[in-house]
Amino acid sequence: MSALAHYFETAGIPTTLSALVREHAEAMHPPRALAVPFELGRPLGAPEDAAFQRRVITAALALLERPSGPILEDYPEDAPADGAASEADEGWACPVSFAQPKADAPKTLAARLQAEVAQMKPWHEAWKRRKGFSGIGAAGAEVEALADYLGQFADGADVSPPVAAAQPADGMKLAINDLMTFYQEAANAQPGTAGGIQQISDWFWTETVAGEVLLAARKVSKTGDDKRVAFVLDRLALPHIAAAHDR
């Protein structure tokens, strides 16, 4: 968004934006940005709180009144508690009990991730039947192909993303976004209360092979030649909470 803001400004169109990752805005110096302390994916804070969201939008639009920039201002309020998520914190349980790997089970991350995706697939199909839609699809590839690509990358193989993207970094980001959405939707397909964002995040990064793969891919990228892919894995695609679970 910061790059787009610069592009629009060169055409004479004033811009303002909310920045979920303050460090990105600091590095890219958009003309006007409101740094918000909310969870990734929630640029306006908690859902279904119109009054709070309106205050965030108003604060971002107010930056247009400043005579010059770049401007980076911090939003002073934390997001209000998400009632649905709070209820989930008390009742959510991991939807899949992953079996302990057998002695002769595949050892590569790619094979282990494929096996886990196969376990998650029925839960994701249940999500689609219940909701009638899925948020995955931006990568334009089946989740099995994305898992194979990300697993092989984490294993150190020289692979290209199965994604129609201009740059490998763009393909990497799309693949990660679709894989993480697949897991989130599958996790919430269990009967009963849906899991809160923090619970599902903790489950993903500490209990799944997918989380292990993405953290391993981040490490691999730091020794590779493509700095854009490394930047995607280190700063854009993986939320900051991943750093706390890096292993």
Per-residue pLDDT of the chain (247 residues; tens, 9 = 90+): 777 888 888 898 999 999 887 877 888 889 999 999 887 677 888 777 899 999 999 999 999 998 777 999 999 998 876 554 444 444 555 555 555 555 566 689 999 999 999 999 999 999 899 889 999 988 899 999 999 999 999 999 999 999 877 788 999 989 998 999 999 888 888 765 555 666 777 788 888 999 999 999 999 999 989 999 998 888 766 655 444 445 4
Cβ-based neighbours of 107, under 8 Å, separated by 6 or more: none
Angle at 177 between CA 172 and CA 180, to 5 degrees: 120
Q: Longest C-alpha distance within the chain, in Å?
A: 66
Which residues face 74 on adjacent strands? 35
pTM summary value: 0.66
For the chain, the structural domain boundaries read 2-74, 86-244
Q: Report the sign of the C-alpha dihedral through residues 118, 208, 88, 143, in that order.
A: negative
Residue 161 to residues 22, 54, 64, 174, 210: CA-CA distances in angstroms?
A: 29, 39, 39, 9, 16
DSSP tag of 232: I
Look up residue 16 and give its two tokens.
């303002």
